[in-house]
Amino acid sequence: MSEQEISFTNIDYIQKIHFPPFVDSIEHQMILSAQLTSIIQDINENPDVRIVVIEGNQISFNFQTNNLPSPQTEKEMEERQIAQLIANIKCPTIMLCSGSIVAQGFEICLSTDIRICSSNTVFQMPQLYWNQLPWDGGTQRLSRLIGIPKSLDLMLTGRNMNAEEAIQSGLVHQMTEPNKLETTGIELAKQMSEYAPIAMQYTKEAILNGYELPLNAALTLELDFNVLLHSTHDRLEGINSFLEKRAPDFQGS
């Protein structure tokens, strides 16, 4: 496998998706998108994947380095989108952020569930300054995650947001020293891989879909997920393990 492609490994319920350091052409972008489409289909069908960890390299996470032009057709856009694919992963996703997270890289970051960053990370959404618009979900997901005022500030000025500001905004959940990012992320992934997989998938879906609904409809959505969980082995296992003061053994069923 070339180092320009996405590499992935699955160890103990944790699927790692490792992005290449840069993307230098539209063709390259399309190769990554196609590769991810098939990986993610596998992930969603594989019961041994409970957590996905997404990472780039230490320096940058920017897939529009050469200011690649915007997609000209809907088809081209779909073939170059990556954040949209990441958003389709059913289980929780953790992104390890490091270096410059720019443009589409930032949009990918916004489509994950939990973000941990090293103290050297900067986030930037500079598309307006390239005479473009964000086209991989950024205009919608950024304000849903950090609110309208800061989203407008970042997108209109194209300025950098550093790690501390990202923590304060609620976007990033934890900051580490650069050399601790990997171990911190894997530690959290291991912790979460011990939770009930179906409950986690439903919780993720309840958060993201419920957010788009009026409260009453959202409460019914939560209720429906709850009664669905009544049919799982893992719900009873969770309750029994708690009452018996032992660690649960979740089967994902």
Partner 1 sequence: MANNFESIILEKKSSILTITLNRPDILNAYNIQMRDEMWQALLAIKDDLEVKVIILKGAGEKAFCAGADLTEFTTAPSQTIARQVRRLRPIWELWASIRKPFICALHGYVIGSGLEMALLCDIRIASPEVKIRLPEVALGMLPAAGGSQTLTKLTGISTASKMLLTTNTISANEALQMGIISKIIKASELQSEVEHIAEHIAGININNTQSLLNLVKTGNDISLSQGLELEKNVNLKNSKHF
Q: According to the binding rule CB under 8 A, does residue 49 interact with partner 1?
A: no
When asked if residue 245 is in the footprint of partner 1 (CB under 8 A), the reply is no
Question: If binding is defined by CB under 8 A, does position 140 make contact with partner 1?
Answer: no
Q: Is 146 in the site for partner 1 (CB under 8 A)?
A: yes
The residue within the footprint of partner 1, chosen from 30, 39, 77, 145 (CB under 8 A), is 145
Kindly identify the residues of this chain, within the stretch 69-88, that bind partner 1 according to CB under 8 A. Answer: none
Cβ neighbours of residue 133 under 8 Å, at least 6 residues apart? 70, 127, 139
CB of 175 to partner 1, least distance (A): 13
Q: How far apart are CA 89 and CA 43, in angstroms?
A: 7
**How would you class 9 by CB atoms within 10 Å of its CB: exposed for 0-12, middle for 13-18, buried for 19 or more?**
exposed
Pick one of 63, 123, 135, 202: the residue that binds partner 1 (CB under 8 A).
Answer: 202
20: nearest Cα among 82, 74, 113: 82
User: Cα-flanking dihedrals φ and ψ of residue 228, to 5°?
Assistant: -60, -40
Size of the site for partner 1 (CB under 8 A): 57
> 42 or 187: whose CB is closer to partner 1?
187
* 165 touches partner 1 (CB under 8 A): no
Q: Is 185 in the site for partner 1 (CB under 8 A)?
A: no
CA 118 and chain centroid, separation = 16
What token pair was written down for 77? Answer: 């856009």
Could you say whether residue 246 binds partner 1 (CB under 8 A)?
Answer: no
The half-sphere exposure of 66 on its side-chain side, counting CA atoms within 13 A, is 9
Sheet with 14-18, strands from edge to edge, namely: 7-11, 14-18, 51-55, 93-97, 114-118, 174-176
Q: Does 168 bind partner 1 (CB under 8 A)?
A: yes
Q: Is 237 one of the binding residues for partner 1 (CB under 8 A)?
A: yes
Q: Is 135 in the site for partner 1 (CB under 8 A)?
A: no
Sole residue written with tokens 């900067």 = 122
Kindly list the residues in this chain that would bind partner 1 in the complex (CB under 8 A). Answer: 92, 113-115, 144-147, 168, 170-171, 173, 188, 191-192, 194-196, 199-200, 202-204, 206-208, 210-211, 214-216, 218-219, 221-232, 234-243, 248, 250
